[in-house]
Amino acid sequence: MALVFDIGIVSLLIAIGAWMIMARDTLVAVIIFVVYGLLMSIAWVRLSAVDVALTEAAIGSGITGMLLLSAAARLRQTEGAGARPSFPVCIAAGSLCALISAGLAGVVLLPADVAPTLAPLAVANLSDTGLENPVAGVLFAYRALDTLLEKVVLLLALLGVWSLGSDRAWGGAPALGAYVPPNDILVFFAQVLPPIGIVFAAYMTWTGASHPGGAFQGGTVLAVMWLLVMMAGVARAPPISSTKVRWLLVAGPALFLAVGFLGFVIAAGFLAYPVDYAKALIVLIEVALALSIGVTLALLAAGPPERTPQP
């Protein structure tokens, strides 16, 4: 019976994906994308990847959807610009893609005799980190360098987005409030939901050490709540020249890096944790990272500065 359910959700996902590609209206396509992300997190739960399900629900549908939606609303006038390629080109592209899909399906059908896995290793060394969630163990202990560099990538992307603003607006604030015309209900919502969201974000970050969750999921919830507040006009987006914002942006990666270098002194090397304090250090890093991720993701979604800075 579980298989029947899986067939149902798989066919729904494929149908929604195809619909998203074919939809005529870009706004509708983005809405379908959000729906797709919400359903995809059910698929991740079916694959026993609860950590990923949380991330997909938060980032894959929520914040990406909001970003694409505001862009689609702004580009409404350019809708219909450009034409689909001619029918033969579509057929050729379609058969190429079908070929690639068939190849991938073949790979799925012919798995290795012994499925490659690092799970036993990950579990065997987990006690040294003091964590109970193996995914957090991979993210913050075994492959901590990847996670650190990912934070740097986020900051670089934010720099890229900021530098796309016009010269006049440099140092100003993103114009997010203009996207939703504020009304009293939205304001009420933006006052009621964030407290709940912030509690949930703190819980996510805290519980990540032993259960599914962590800094990414917690940070994304923070970002979403801040975006809601800015969209409703309850608080304005900060100017990008604000020193406070910039400190928040670098706090997480800087602390991570500092702990990494501390590893030379108190442990085996770069990004190594002393066994006794491993969990405390990791939780400390996660808290700082959750704040930084929240601010970074929200500003990435808010886009380049558009309001000219007030002197």
Q: Is 88 in the site for another protein (CB under 8 A)?
A: no
Contacts with another protein by CB under 8 A: the residue count is 154
Q: Is 129 in the site for another protein (CB under 8 A)?
A: no
Tell me the closest approach of the beta carbon of residue 246 to another protein, in angstroms: 17
CA distance 250 to 246: 6
Among 170, 171, 175, 186, binds another protein (CB under 8 A): 186
Tell me the closest approach of the beta carbon of residue 94 to another protein, in angstroms: 6
Return all residues near 247 (Cβ < 8 A) that are at least 6 apart: none
Return all residues near 209 (Cβ < 8 A) that are at least 6 apart: 130, 131, 132, 133, 136, 279, 282, 283, 286
How far from the centroid of its chain's Cα atoms is residue 28's Cα? 22
144-162 and 243-266 are packed helices; what angle lies between their axes, rounded to 10 degrees? Answer: 160
Among 113, 115, 243, 244, binds another protein (CB under 8 A): 115
Q: Is 29 in the site for another protein (CB under 8 A)?
A: yes
Q: Is 81 in the site for another protein (CB under 8 A)?
A: yes
Tell me the closest approach of the beta carbon of residue 250 to another protein, in angstroms: 16
Tell me the closest approach of the beta carbon of residue 266 to another protein, in angstroms: 25
Collapse the DSSP code of 71 into the 3-class scheme (helix H, G, I; strand E, B; otherwise coil) and give the result.
helix
Q: Is 289 in the site for another protein (CB under 8 A)?
A: no
Return all residues near 119 (Cβ < 8 A) that are at least 6 apart: 134
Return all residues near 132 (Cβ < 8 A) that are at least 6 apart: 126, 209, 210, 211
Tell me the closest approach of the beta carbon of residue 265 to another protein, in angstroms: 27
Interface map 215-254 toward another protein (x if CB under 8 A): -xx---x--x--xx--x-----------------------
- Binders of another protein among residues 193 to 212 (CB under 8 A) are 193, 196-197, 200, 204, 207, 211-212
Return all residues near 130 (Cβ < 8 A) that are at least 6 apart: 209, 275, 278, 279, 280, 282
Q: Is 187 in the site for another protein (CB under 8 A)?
A: no
Tell me the closest approach of the beta carbon of residue 10 to another protein, in angstroms: 4
Tell me the closest approach of the beta carbon of residue 45 to another protein, in angstroms: 6
Q: Which CB atom, from 62 or from 172, has the smaller least distance to another protein? A: 62
Altogether, the residues listed in the chain come to a count of: 311
Q: Which CB atom, from 67 or from 284, has the smaller least distance to another protein? A: 67
Question: Residue 60 CB: number of other CB atoms within 10 A?
Answer: 21
